[in-house]
Structure 1
């Protein structure tokens, strides 16, 4: 029922267009974003562009605490709302031809082309402008290095096709930037220093003061060029290098710009300029060598991460695009960082950390990165355990409550139904510890830091439940489940499930490792927790054979999404919030998320009944929704629905399914396309210390193949209509199951496919 907006070309390794689509400029800026885990930017033009667009450059870990502005202040509200802030625009190259500024919103142009090459990690662009009797072709290349994190490189080439051209270029470091998400006219930056040497310029700025004792970040950006400027101009929050070229027909000039950015997260202010100088010098000025090194590093990443799909170029482009943007956002190099839902592509959601990381990103990084990468994600939460205690205490509760939204561990989300009530996120922090331990076989984290986190989370759950004498059961009231289209419900099945599971996993782990543990549980605590586990209330309906989403869900006017008109979707953009909350429509997997997490605890019949009941009411207006449904649909044998959900999660942004990609990509949900293939179509499971597969092949595909790391082994899996091929590329022999049959993988194994 949704309208798919396919405005860019389909290509297995590239995102391209030959059209400057002014109506979709923001959308295309989002999709052509680039980053390197340290910094990144939207696909903005280097030159001035006067029509509607969203200029955005972002630096990892650099943010601002803004006062929470609500008129209904309640005790326990966060003191501030954290937000990523737009940073220095260092790609700026204002262009003039014969004294006329090049502006594609107003100039006559032709041969426009944009290409994001995902295999090489390079953004290309070109166009030809006609000004009077002169035609000039401009070409650009841009990348942010994944081998030298502080480095960005931009090139501009101008070729005169007709006439004489006096070309003037103003290359800038421009910190006169504002945010698009809120506080539209507020400046978050103040100037600290400027410095110009014979070879480079340096601009140092600092975030403005705040009222919350959060550090003010200092950033120094620097630039040098392959040519000497004719003039250097200093203006507030800006430095410009100006260049002039006089070219005849057939002549070409090329300007190369090298940028280095350092922040106070790593370098104190007084040393930043010196460090930037050292880096500029050590990186060298050979653009071709820097580009080749960067691209070779991307090729190395693709050797492990690539998923090869034969027979469907749109599906192939979708998974590669998502993996490219994920690894452009996070590759595990800094345990102080996490994965923001928008990455470096926009400001929505404040650029902060959500439960998305533990629920959806950890499984991918377990398989496609070294073990230290997911372990860094776990350490991120352990490092913020004191803040989680603070969050719980602010609600008047014991234990630790991990935040829904954060930069530093302190909750900084200002919607009460999220901050106070969407507490199921606490369970996903615990689940990630289980997931890491179960997948890798490494118990070192669980025994130490992990148990500290688990005990703190369990103490929260034990205090948050209440005992109902009337029902002789424990309950959890006043929550928002994963389905955010319902708030303040009682006994959300998934929340009750994740709470009791966390308590049980903590008890089991404590008993197993208590002699090594750094935390102690009293006998009374253990007894109380076990009682909660034994007597937790779960809403069910025996007639329907389902787990009920919450106490009063079945009292709603139940209808399926197919009864909605296309004009009503997405509901979030057409219905009032009151209308949404009273409806039966589900934003994302709720009960089904529990069946996904704990798949070994439920029968195929239970999964099928619940899927067939809830999915028809699910509008999938969360970017996190489609992948869970794809995985469960594949498991219950609904191959068509699994493929539909894969296509949605793989091309959510490329095809703008929810009409909301113009303000940034859905980075954390991009793991969903990989999960849909590996845990969905291939049915990879790791329950009970056993790796297993039960692959099916989507009917429109000829084959698919992928690598995974698993317990110090590297495996390759390929699925065709006839066979399932497994290769042990590295590591010791492995006993696993395929279609429930046990095999020992020593090198290569080929099994007849049961895709039919």
Structure 2
């Protein structure tokens, strides 16, 4: 099966021709979202072939009880899952009593899907010959409104091509939905009310256990050749669904158009007893504006997003399509409006990973949102973690930690840990460091220190307390060691002294010491509040500093590199290039026993530390570590190629950097991992943006100054992007002739390019 079936186009994702084998992959690739809800690109009409139905509501989840054979103290009791929500897109079509179903049509011709990323809509069209020999042309346009984020809209056109026919159109809402990834096949939703009024319908429901209340609604309008048909629908409802059926006699060449509005109102945002009332208001607004006006609003909203976040590449359409697809999906998933929400690894495109928050947000996504949005968006991501601090303290308490030590969860919806693989839940504790690094990164980039005295220092205290308790003193080494951990490389579990984790622990404690000093001196009122809340003492701060100053790091004198963990050199060091290709990917071909004994690295581990803390190490040290570890890296994590691309670019190895970039940018479009039907890799998409901006563009903040070291792949003619640096918009264009810089607004800005200081003035272009 050919997975590279997407037509190359700079602004659209296009599929030409109907292939049943590709339906589920396309359902992922053509997914829609607006930050508040999202859905896979399922057909509106009936389809009896293989399909993965999925609609999701941001922040609505279910605690699916953990399913493990061996229960251990500290295990989370459930895995929080984003729920497959009631389905509002359904529109059954039948002609002379024959249902439209692409799985059993005699012929499907001119099949075309397009996801227009520039304007934020999805279109599907085809000509079908039905089993009863009726030939019809269908065109469907769908979008989820950015302006009215509880609303989605569908325009469904059916034209009769070869005969007159009775056409039956049945829009419906189906609440009888299950998750594909349910552990116990629990009933996730309880339907509490189903109502119909004229051409509108409402299904009220709540989630079991978590008690989120949701109203799923629809409204429909019918037209024949553009003239409104005032048909009264026949209403049918059962315990979980409601449908409206319209029957019309159409003549050959006439076109029936159904406009369907639908969506969700949720008690996260409205009083629980007003959800139907609010849904009616949304439908009133939609009906008053109409489909075309709503679509025009959608185009304008996306134009504003692209104005700031676009990366334009000249001379390489596949690369251009790849980066825009990544930027588009990131914006569909999270727009930063609500600090209660976060960015799940699959976004609204599937159920894998439970739709929950991982350390991916702080390590990979924050830089994208800081540079392409206003800083309030990044603030909201940090506030999300502050709001979960008490839960992080409770998570640590379950594992035996005391005194306000905080362990942020590997996977969460509400701050509680809900990941149940012991080697990750208990041992992949480096996630704590990513939270602290994000606080540092936010201050470094925005220049805004206010988060730290207001919220951040309390987070840093909890994290420092965790690391202080997690290490122990080795009499043998006369240093502090960290036993039984899993680093970012999940192909090594339960190892001692993972260098990356040890280095993060040291840095986190030192950073907490420094910030406590600054806040105590410059924000005394905040500091007193924090001391009162945390019972922090000067002695405790001194203890952190002493431990941080004496942490052990495994090092090889022979190779002059830090070792990924104590026993790394005991492995059989066979490079990936010498591994039989039939053995790849090893996570599908090998037993876990064999993987854990191998030298193979799933994703950047030591090199992740060199990415975070590159100013702590020389270029020679980076080169030595890159040359030692990259040959053992299989890149079987979506988060791996971007870090390696950035570092290859820093080392001036642009061909290698470009190869890694293409891998990360087209990971889903070309389905490198052969799993795109499960959903997209949303958080790694931010790494694609980083590969260009931080990798090729060399963007950094050095000594409080925005800095660039631009390079360009030989495959490109030019590329350009914008950065919102401290509320000043800088435009960078790079070609083989050199680079140019512009600044919008009224103020000048000093930057560095290849180490040279330059002042950007409004209205002027600086060429280097």
Match of 2:225 in 1: none
**Separation of aligned partners in 1, 2:675 and 2:360:** 18
For residue 714 of structure 2, give the secondary structure of its aligned residue in structure 1.
coil
Following superposition, the deviation at residue 258 of structure 1 comes to 0.8
**Separation of aligned partners in 2, 1:187 and 1:32:** 28
For residue 161 of structure 2, give the secondary structure of its aligned residue in structure 1.
strand
| Structure-to-structure mapping, 1:327-342, within 5 angstroms | 327-342=331-346
Match of 2:5 in 1: 7
**Separation of aligned partners in 1, 2:367 and 2:540:** 31
Native 8 Å contact 2:392 2:407 kept in 1? yes
More displaced 10-residue stretch of structure 1: 233-242 or 269-278: 269-278
| 1:87 counterpart = 2:85 | yes
Match of 1:435 in 2: 441
Match of 1:358 in 2: 362
Match of 2:576 among 557, 561, 574: 561
| 1:221 counterpart = 2:216 | yes
Following superposition, the deviation at residue 411 of structure 1 comes to 0.3
| 1:692 counterpart = 2:691 | no
**Separation of aligned partners in 2, 1:279 and 1:247:** 31
More displaced 10-residue stretch of structure 1: 623-632 or 215-224: 215-224
**Separation of aligned partners in 2, 1:53 and 1:195:** 29
More displaced 10-residue stretch of structure 1: 189-198 or 27-36: 189-198
Match of 1:424 among 430, 433, 445: 430
Match of 1:158 in 2: 158
Match of 2:241 in 1: 238
Following superposition, the deviation at residue 199 of structure 1 comes to 3.9
Match of 1:611 in 2: 626
Change in 2 beyond 3 A, CA 1:184/1:13: farther
Q: Deviations over 1:38-91 (max 9, x none)?
A: 111001111111111100000001110011121211111112111111111111
**Separation of aligned partners in 1, 2:314 and 2:192:** 54
Native 8 Å contact 1:44 1:56 kept in 2? yes
Native 8 Å contact 1:207 1:217 kept in 2? yes
TM-score normalised by structure 2 residue count? 0.95
Match of 1:490 in 2: 496
| 1:255 counterpart = 2:245 | no
Q: Aligned residue pairs: how many?
A: 745
Native 8 Å contact 1:493 1:591 kept in 2? yes
| Structure-to-structure mapping, 1:450-469, within 5 angstroms | 450-469=456-475
**Separation of aligned partners in 2, 1:621 and 1:66:** 27
Native 8 Å contact 2:392 2:409 kept in 1? yes
Following superposition, the deviation at residue 4 of structure 1 comes to 8.8
Native 8 Å contact 1:178 1:184 kept in 2? no
Native 8 Å contact 2:374 2:727 kept in 1? no
Native 8 Å contact 1:133 1:163 kept in 2? no
| Structure-to-structure mapping, 1:259-278, within 5 angstroms | 259-278=262-281
Following superposition, the deviation at residue 245 of structure 1 comes to 2.4
**Separation of aligned partners in 1, 2:187 and 2:156:** 30
Following superposition, the deviation at residue 181 of structure 1 comes to 1.6
Following superposition, the deviation at residue 298 of structure 1 comes to 0.4
Match of 1:635 in 2: 650
Following superposition, the deviation at residue 687 of structure 1 comes to 3.0
**Separation of aligned partners in 2, 1:508 and 1:316:** 43
Q: Deviations over 1:508-560 (max 9, x none)?
A: 11111112423233222122111111111011112212111000011101111
Native 8 Å contact 1:712 1:731 kept in 2? no
**Separation of aligned partners in 1, 2:517 and 2:746:** 32
For residue 304 of structure 1, give the secondary structure of its aligned residue in structure 2.
helix
Match of 2:673 in 1: 658
Native 8 Å contact 1:78 1:412 kept in 2? yes
For residue 154 of structure 1, give the secondary structure of its aligned residue in structure 2.
strand
| 1:750 counterpart = 2:748 | no
**Separation of aligned partners in 1, 2:629 and 2:643:** 12
| Structure-to-structure mapping, 1:707-726, within 5 angstroms | 707-726=722-741
Native 8 Å contact 2:65 2:183 kept in 1? no
Match of 1:284 among 263, 287, 294: 287
**Separation of aligned partners in 2, 1:493 and 1:117:** 44
| Structure-to-structure mapping, 1:127-526, within 5 angstroms | 127-131=126-130, 132-183=132-183, 185-208=185-208, 210=209, 215-227=210-222, 228-285=231-288, 286-398=290-402, 399-514=405-520, 515=524, 516-517=526-527, 518-520=529-531, 521-526=536-541
**Separation of aligned partners in 2, 1:372 and 1:223:** 33
Following superposition, the deviation at residue 730 of structure 1 comes to 2.3
Change in 2 beyond 3 A, CA 1:729/1:315: same
- RMSD of aligned residue pairs (Cα, Å): 1.3
TM-score normalised by structure 1 residue count? 0.97
Gaps (5+ residues) in structure 1?
none
Match of 1:22 in 2: 20
Following superposition, the deviation at residue 223 of structure 1 comes to 1.1
**Separation of aligned partners in 1, 2:677 and 2:171:** 27
Match of 2:608 in 1: 593
Native 8 Å contact 1:127 1:138 kept in 2? yes
Native 8 Å contact 2:199 2:232 kept in 1? no
Following superposition, the deviation at residue 322 of structure 1 comes to 0.5
More displaced 10-residue stretch of structure 1: 192-201 or 43-52: 192-201
Q: Deviations over 1:93-143 (max 9, x none)?
A: 111122111111111221111110001100000111113342110110100
Following superposition, the deviation at residue 21 of structure 1 comes to 2.2
**Separation of aligned partners in 1, 2:495 and 2:183:** 33
**Separation of aligned partners in 2, 1:539 and 1:222:** 59
Q: Deviations over 1:384-414 (max 9, x none)?
A: 1110000010110131000000000000001
Match of 2:549 in 1: 534
**Separation of aligned partners in 2, 1:714 and 1:654:** 30
Following superposition, the deviation at residue 731 of structure 1 comes to 5.1
Match of 1:118 in 2: 117
**Separation of aligned partners in 1, 2:274 and 2:765:** 57
Match of 2:747 in 1: 732
Native 8 Å contact 1:714 1:731 kept in 2? no
Gaps (5+ residues) in structure 2?
223-230
For residue 530 of structure 2, give the secondary structure of its aligned residue in structure 1.
coil
